[in-house]
Amino acid sequence: MSPGRGTSRVSIAAVEERVPPMAGLAVAVIAVSTSAILVRWSDAPSVIKAFYRVLFTTALLVPWALGRYRGEFGRMELRDVGLAGLTGLALALHFVSWFESLNYTSVAASVTLVQTQPLFVAVGAWALLDERLTRRMLVGIFIALFGAVAMSLGDPLLASVGIGDAAGLTNTGAFGNALAVVGAVTSAAYVLAGRSLRQRVSLVPYVVVVYLACAGALLAIAVAQNAPLVDYPRREWLLFLGMAIGPGIFGHTVINWALAHVESGVVSVSLLGEPVGSTVLALLLLPGEIPTPTTVAGGAVVLLGIYLTAVARGHD
């Protein structure tokens, strides 16, 4: 072992020991809360935003992965590589659908609906992995779905009886909300597809392989859509890099690290702070981004349902 590599390992371990897991989790929630804002600020096509976010995140992780986990890449079996490809494809579809949803609906609605992912993970684990759905989990899922319906259809229904104004919501807001739900479903597919792979591969090699597969899928989608790959101003490249460093490295990577130190139920509940944080940032940083009362009320019901489901899973 070279002195440089040994020093690197010691310093990384020392940093991990000094950072309280809950403090790291708080930083991660703040970081992921910036994602919707950065996506909204960018004028690039949704698939390009997603591609460069994943590509830059991978580029930042590769030196660490090769320095510390080089041997694990060579030991991956062919079936693991194939499973990583499926996991990366699910993640690519998640990013594309969620990023696109932000073009049609409010940040509050989009982020809250995409955060319903734990509900679909619970249902998918029951259907595919024979995991039990308890009564408390079913109650939480029902409450969250009721809130999601209220967020998506509440304003148009009120406008149809002469209460409020749902101009533009029926055709655009509802479509954006539907895309956010697709983002939640594909995110759940990403979690379920990667569950067995994660049991055999360490965190950093796992995310690098999956991110590479995801970037390849996003590149294929971008080429199929004839989206320009490089003709963007400096501001866009800075936003792409910001998406990688903030939500990518300090957000999801730290969340995955926290899972080794904190119960998964605690992590799931903590992530409910993302819709709140994103909504507050949107109010401060995005002109005219004021959620309707129906969106706020429905979002609160959704978060309650997710909370009940997450707590029930954590104590099952």
Q: How many CB atoms lie within 10 A of CB 239?
A: 22
Q: What is the pLDDT of residues 223-279, one digit of tens each?
A: 999 999 999 999 999 999 999 999 999 988 888 777 667 766 667 677 778 888 888
Residue 12 lies in a domain: no
pLDDT at 252: 83
Q: What's the whole-number average pLDDT of the chain?
A: 82
Q: What is the pLDDT of residues 183-205, one digit of tens each?
A: 999 988 888 887 777 778 777 88
Question: Cα separation of 300 and 62, whole Å?
Answer: 39
Whole-structure pTM over 0.85, yes or no? no
Q: Which of 6-15, 38-47, 169-178, 239-248 has the lowest mean pLDDT?
A: 6-15
- Give the chain's domain count: 1
Q: What is the pLDDT of residues 135-185, one digit of tens each?
A: 888 888 888 888 877 776 666 555 555 555 544 444 567 788 899 999 999
pLDDT at 290: 79
pLDDT at 211: 92
Give 91-144 as a 3 state SS string.
HHHHHHHHHHHCCCCCHHHHHHHHCCHHHHHHHHHHHHHCCCCCHHHHHHHHHH
pLDDT at 166: 47
Burial tier of 137 (Cβ tally within 10 Å: 0-12, 13-18, 19+): buried
Question: Cα separation of 164 and 133, whole Å?
Answer: 39
Q: What is the domain range of residue 80?
A: 29-314
Name the more confident of 206 and 237.
237
Residue 244 lies in a domain: yes
**Contact status, residue 120 vs residue 184, Cβ threshold 8 Å:** yes
Question: Cα separation of 79 and 69, whole Å?
Answer: 19
From residue 314, alpha-carbon distances to 79, 120, 134, 304 in Å are 30, 16, 11, 15
Residue 10 lies in a domain: no
Residue 223 lies in a domain: yes
Residue 111 lies in a domain: yes
Q: What is the pLDDT of residues 78-107, one digit of tens each?
A: 888 888 889 999 999 999 999 999 999 888
Residue 20 lies in a domain: no
Residue 304 lies in a domain: yes
Residue 196 lies in a domain: yes
Judged by DSSP in three states, 271 sits in coil
